[in-house]
Structure 1
Amino acid sequence: MPFFAIAFPVFDPVAVAVGPFEIRWYALAYIAGILLGWLYARMLLQRERLWGGPAPITPVQFDDFILWVTIGIILGGRTGYVLFYNLDFFIANPSEIFVLWKGGMSFHGGFMGCVVAVFLFGWKRNISVASLGDITCAVGPIGLFLGRIANFINGELWGRPADSTVPWAMVFPNAGPLPRHPSQLYEAGLEGLALFLILALMIRAGALKRPGLIIGAFLTFYGLGRITGEFFREPDPQLGFRWGGMTMGMLLSVPMVIAGIVVMLAARRRASTPPQPAGAKPGEAVK
């Protein structure tokens, strides 16, 4: 082993075990991400100055939305993984699609599941889809950060081989003897911490007064962060590198960046007006 390599601190992927019942760190990351995101969202909804008036969504409505978005994340994330990352395997083994505890979730699929949940819930409850999307995207980096930390604990989705200029390179279990970038931690920093801070600063500057602006920023900066992280992450073995040396993660993120810029420009051109109260009909005066 080269002198500069750090031995991976092997963690038990099972956080709690009681007899045959097990709770894994990955499951805890999802649960903690949803709970912390819910608390942060409620805090944002209760601060009228961030919205320029009463928020267009009540905390109670967002409480109800949590179930919808959780289902969207799980169904979308699994569907995205099946379609984008391992379709041939699941065609040959369709029963494995439902074996979620073995892992296999796609962020891009999970995001599309969130989009569907936002549209359906907003339409059903007659609330602003753009504002609901903004608040959902604002809390999203919390779950992304915890999810990447869980990837690191599991010793999965490791990075590409590193050279001697990377003193923090690690030798991961099941990844061969070469020291590799801890790309899960890079992505936790880019997609989690950095993205959260960017969106939080934008919210503090009044971004929620322009519905859709946080959605566009999330798409843009997540996409850029993911593309950057992919330069250090080992491609999935069943896919390898794609066109021009790009990875599947890069290919799925490029459209996000383009769409995010378009959404941000459209939101910036929209006049900043006080939000409609939750449940108000279009054109109804704010009282």
Structure 2
Amino acid sequence: MTELLAALSVYLTQAALHFPGWSPALISIDFGFIGLPTFHLRWYALGYIAGIGGAWWYAMQLLKRPNLWGGEPPLSKDAMDDLMFWIIIGIILGGRLGYVLFYMVPYQMDVLTADPLTVIRIWDGGMAFHGGILGVATVLWFFAAKRGVKLLSVGDIAGVTAPIGIGLVRIANFVNAELYGRHTDAPVGLIFPEGYVPGSTPPAYNWETGEWAYTGAEMARHPSQLYESVLEGWLPLLVLSLLIWKFGALKRPGLVAGIFLILYGVGRSVAENFREPDSFVSGLPEWLTMGMLLSTPMWIGGAWLIWNALKGKEKSV
């Protein structure tokens, strides 16, 4: 038995699982008979749709309960519906512009110069979470000012609901075999497809054959997308929900938003140690990645929000 366990241990440390190889699309419908291209309902898009829908549902559950807020909830149902529309705009524009400003302008200016329309080709990939959160923050600020509602309380709603979308989209990143991790010999390692199919998104998937492209030289990597799904999405959702439903965190405006920023910043920084850095990003020390660098303002902003929330008195019904 001892020899068997030893052999199994050696096998687990040497062997690696293969990427499941699921299709990046839930369904694909060929409209060639009417002269239109094939429509792919992709898991990545579904991650955003389900995340936004889940965020709206959870926000409505919070707004139905005045006792969680220590008084009148900050938004009505109609106002929340209106806000969700603008949040979607903030996510899309902020995420895309963030990617262009944070990654393309410093490192891929030649691509922008050769084809300026790349900026609007969101369907080709390229969304930055930190840009998305700036877009949402801008929308929240304008919305609160226009409607005369409390910005910090609206920010708390965004803080506890955002992890739903983050967790789902990171899972979609895994299905797309993108943003995978660094090489590892650990049992959790996966063999991801690293080939390239010209003009395809994701780049390693051939939509015509329905097959993933492998080079034959792949090595096991951390499934860092799943690490991020937990650390940036599901763990913050669990912690913040506990603080809200058990300890009345919403009664201190800004506290939930601040804790979310800290938790995301910590989770992202930890996950970056396992995630393969973008190949085109250069000039940073080995111990620092762009994801860590862009998370620094979140640490600072989150700490200020927590301090500001805790210095005042808690609301009471």
Q: Report the TM-score when normalising by structure 1.
A: 0.91
**Considering only aligned residues, what root-mean-square deviation do their CA atoms show, in Å?**
1.5
Structure 1: stretches of 5+ with no match in the other structure: 276-287
Matching residue within 72, 87, 90 for 1:69: 87
* Contact 2:44 2:172 (8 Å CA) reproduced: yes
What residue identity is the alignment partner of 2:224?
S
Residue range with higher mean Cα deviation, 170-179 or 36-45: 170-179
Q: Distance in 1 between matches of 2:118 and 2:233?
A: 30
Provide the residue aligned with 1:264 in structure 2. 306
* Contact 1:33 1:146 (8 Å CA) reproduced: yes
Q: Distance in 1 between matches of 2:289 and 2:219?
A: 21
SS in 2 for 1:245: coil
Deviations 1:133-169 (A, max 9, x none): 1101110000000010000000000000002xx1020
Residue 219 of structure 1, CA deviation? 0.7
SS in 1 for 2:27: strand
Provide the residue aligned with 2:136 in structure 1. 114
Matching residue within 1, 8, 18 for 1:7: 18
SS in 2 for 1:225: helix
Provide the residue aligned with 1:281 in structure 2. none
- Which residues of 2 match residues 90-169 of structure 1 at below 5 A? 90-163=112-185, 166-169=186-189
Considering only CA atoms, is the larger Rg found in Structure 1 or Structure 2? 2
* Contact 1:86 1:238 (8 Å CA) reproduced: no
SS in 1 for 2:297: helix
Higher relative contact order (CA 8 A, sep 6+): 1
* Contact 1:241 1:248 (8 Å CA) reproduced: no
Residue 245 of structure 1, CA deviation? 2.7
Q: Distance in 2 between matches of 1:125 and 1:255?
A: 27
What residue identity is the alignment partner of 2:80?
F
Residue 21 of structure 1, CA deviation? 2.0
* Contact 1:191 1:225 (8 Å CA) reproduced: yes
Q: Report the TM-score when normalising by structure 2.
A: 0.83
Provide the residue aligned with 1:236 in structure 2. 278
Provide the residue aligned with 2:228 in structure 1. 187
* Contact 2:69 2:315 (8 Å CA) reproduced: no
Provide the residue aligned with 2:214 in structure 1. none
Provide the residue aligned with 1:170 in structure 2. 190
What residue identity is the alignment partner of 1:189?
V
Q: Distance in 1 between matches of 2:286 and 2:45?
A: 35
Deviations 1:19-48 (A, max 9, x none): 222221111110000001100000011011
Provide the residue aligned with 1:81 in structure 2. 99
Provide the residue aligned with 1:54 in structure 2. 72
* Contact 1:241 1:247 (8 Å CA) reproduced: no
> Matched residues, percent identical?
47
Structure 2: stretches of 5+ with no match in the other structure: 1-12, 31-37, 196-216
Matching residue within 261, 270, 273 for 2:315: 273
Q: Distance in 1 between matches of 2:285 and 2:183?
A: 21
* Contact 2:190 2:223 (8 Å CA) reproduced: yes
Deviations 1:162-201 (A, max 9, x none): 02xx102011101751100000000001011111011111
